[in-house]
Amino acid sequence: MVLLLLSLSALSFSTFTRDLSIVGYSPDDLTSMDKLIELFESWRAKHDKIYESIEEKLLRFEVFKDNLKHIDETNKRVSNYWLGLNEFADLSHEEFKNKYLGLKPDFLGTCEDKKEESEMVTINGYRDVPKNDELSLLKALADQPISVAIEASGRDFQF
């Protein structure tokens, strides 16, 4: 009985975490144009999307369909993460990258190079840590401060 309750609890938590700001979809939504339009309209309402013209709305619908296809194919293929229809589902990947990724020169700060030089810490070396090796990362952290970079320009990071 306890095992059943724990299983149900885990299942409901898993379902909850998948739907935080995401409009869900089912395989049935992909079976007809009418269902795709209904899903698009539901998604638009959830994210308060308003377009200036019917042409823009049609363009956004085409992008939405392409993104939904990518999301569905990825979810069928990959089991350790899940993609969904978030607020960016009407942006092409190029539009998303141009708007949200990359260096924004207007937001650069100052390095305070005029400050008096004072040595706070000495970093006397570095090492690359193998991918997906948390133990190596912990060992590196024990020796020196660490710097981490995540390459997040892949399409899956959009959803």
Domain holding 89: CATH number?
1.10.287.2250
Query: In this structure, is residue 4 part of a structural domain?
Result: no
Domain range for 149 is: 19-103+121-158
Q: Is residue 82 part of a domain?
A: yes
Q: Is residue 126 part of a domain?
A: yes
Asked whether residue 69 is assigned to any structural domain, the reply reads: yes
What's the CA gap between 20 and 17, in Å, rounded? 6
**Structural domains of the chain, count:** 1
- Give a yes or no: residue 6 inside a domain: no
Q: What is the pLDDT of residue 2?
A: 42
Each residue's pLDDT tens digit, 14-26: 444 444 467 788 8
Do the domain assignments include residue 144? yes
In sequence order, what DSSP letters do the residues of 87-102 get, joined into one string? TTTTS-HHHHHHHHSS
Residue 116 lies in a domain: no
**Ordered per-residue pLDDT tens for the chain, 159 residues:** 444 333 444 444 444 444 446 778 888 899 999 999 999 999 999 999 999 999 999 999 999 999 999 999 999 998 888 899 999 999 999 999 999 887 666 666 666 656 666 666 677 777 788 888 889 888 888 877 787 777 777 888 788
Angle at 60 between CA 58 and CA 61, to 5 degrees: 60
Q: What is the pTM of this model?
A: 0.63
Average pLDDT, the chain: 80
- Reading the block at residue 4, the tokens are 């059943």
